[in-house]
Amino acid sequence: MKNILIIGGSKGIGNAILLQQLEHNKIYNISRNAPEITHANLTHFSLDVLEQELPEIANIDTIIYCPGSINLKPIASLSIENFRNDFEINVIGAVKVIQKYLAVLKKGNNPSIVLFSTVAAKLGMPFHASIATAKAGVEGLVKSLGAELASVVRINAIAPTITETSLSAGILRNDRMKENMIERHPMKGYLQPEEVADMADFLISEKAKSISGQIFEMDYGIVTFKI
């Protein structure tokens, strides 16, 4: 049984990961809202990672930091505060969590960290300037910490294409928009949270013990293929 710390496990991809891991692992979840489930293996802390002090946790084998943002605007409409907020949510929050728990994590069993990027960090997409910049910071963090912690802790990131969650509800708000999104991807689909949870499950497992400092694109071909 692993001790898994999930940041942002109350909804979206984080919730899919929480539900997948809950039956066989001890889960600590930190988010402003509680998950809509109770379980003997679940300990929840209601707080804002950026604003409040993080709780003490004695045993951690894995950290999965899930908070993200979709702030899509033309550059002229983005404020400096927009850029700052996206960077704080995606990068500073992750750094704060890693710094808080790194000493405990180093003592864990096959210790690992999973962060989240986006396909927009590699594929130039209009109106993604703020979020792509923040997620590029996440990827830099993964590469740097992967090297720094190579002998003790593995760290990787998942870079999903659009995933059907509450965060993307405005982009996938009707059947026509969903069909258009499917057609944009060469493999004719987009992600469900459970697919991303499966990748996270692999990355924190013994099967991935040789893998660190990597960014895994789950893109339905949108970055990789030109068809």
- Paired residues of 159 in beta bridges: 217
Q: Is residue 169 scored above 80 in pLDDT? A: no
For residue 211, what are the contacts with CB-CB under 8 A and spacing of at least 6? Answer: 154, 156, 203
Least-confidence region, from 27-31, 53-57, 166-170: 166-170
pLDDT band at 166 (very low <50, low <70, confident <90, very high): confident
pLDDT value, residue 71: 85
pLDDT band at 226 (very low <50, low <70, confident <90, very high): confident
Flag whether 224 is in a domain: no
What letters, b where the CB count within 10 A reaches 16 and e where it falls short, cover 138-171?
A: bbebbbebbeebeeebbbbbbbbbbbbbebbeee
Q: For residue 55, give the 3-state DSSP assignment.
A: coil
Flag whether 78 is in a domain: yes
Least-confidence region, from 17-26, 38-47, 62-71, 82-91: 62-71
Q: For residue 35, give the 3-state DSSP assignment.
A: coil
Q: Which domain holds residue 115?
A: 3-161+193-217
Flag whether 100 is in a domain: yes
Query: Mean pLDDT, to the nearest integer, of 137-150?
Result: 98
pLDDT band at 70 (very low <50, low <70, confident <90, very high): confident
Flag whether 176 is in a domain: no
Q: Tell me the pLDDT tens digit for each residue of 175-196.
A: 999 999 999 999 999 899 999 9
pTM of the model: 0.95
Flag whether 93 is in a domain: yes
For position 40, which CATH number holds?
Answer: 3.40.50.720
55 vs 59: CA distance, rounded Å = 12
Q: Tell me the pLDDT tens digit for each residue of 123-140.
A: 898 999 999 999 999 999
Domain total of the chain: 1
Flag whether 94 is in a domain: yes
